[in-house]
Structure formats: structure tokens, C-alpha cells
Amino acid sequence: MLRRALAFAAACLLAMPVAAQVQRNFPQNALRGAIAFGTAPDIALNGQPARLAPGTRIRDANNMAVVPAAIHGGRFLAHYTIDPFGLVKDIWILTVDEAANKPWPSTPDEAAAWSFDPIAQVWTKP
């Protein structure tokens, strides 16, 4: 029994660096902002009140799905998308490396004016 537990722990430790190296590809309509999680569905997006859409998908920095209650009270730099009703639909909490990828648009106007390379995940200003 102890051997199985040790083998399982070793396998988990070996798998951790692999998970940390996954490159996420964000959609062109993803904007960057500061998100503070309140009591779902209420959040603050760039200091302004906002709401989560029904079925919002939230991914943490390890790309694992999380529920709003698990990160209640947390503040994160994230990429997010907005649905047609103005609700926050998808959220990706950024890693340090992803946050260093600049520039990234924070408004729809910036996204419309800039150019996006979806393969390199890089935005360029005009």
C-alpha cells in the first residue's frame, strides 16, 4: 500500500512540469483585464462592476477549470471574452509568462485597430 502511494506521488510530481509548460492559445476576441471575484455572478472587471454569463468557463494559471466559489475574493490579471449580452463568458487567469506578453488589447477598440498573429499569440500596434 505504501509503495503504491509513493509511486502515485512520484508520478504526480513528474507530471507537474509538463502541465506548467502548456502553451494556451487565446482567441482574437480575448481582452486583457484585472478581474476581482465577488459572489457569483458578480465580479469587478478593471474596477467596474460586471457579471459572469451563465456557464462561464474559468481556467486558472495551470489551465485547470475552476468554479467562481473556489476563487471568491481573488484578484487576477486575466484574458476574457464578452458574450453578445455584455456578460463575461470565458476567463483565463494568466501565468507570469503570459502576462509578460505585451502588448495585449484591453478594449474592443484597441483589438479592432491592432493586428493579431494567432500562431505566435502576438499583437502589434499600428
**Single pTM value for the model:** 0.81
Q: Which residue has the higher pLDDT, 7 or 95?
A: 95
pLDDT digits (tens, 9 = 90+) for 35-85: 999 999 999 999 999 999 999 999 999 999 999 999 999 999 999 999 999
Contacts of 27 (CB under 8 A, 6+ apart): 81, 90
* Choice between 12 and 30, residue whose per-residue pLDDT is larger: 30
46 torsion bin: left (phi>0), alpha (psi -120 to 50), beta (else) = left
Residue ranges covered by each domain of the chain: 25-124
How far lies 122's CA from each of 27, 46, 92, 101, 118, in Å? 11, 22, 16, 7, 7
pLDDT in tens, 72-123: 999 999 999 999 999 999 999 999 999 999 999 999 999 999 999 999 999 9
**Is the pLDDT assigned to residue 18 strictly greater than 50?**
no
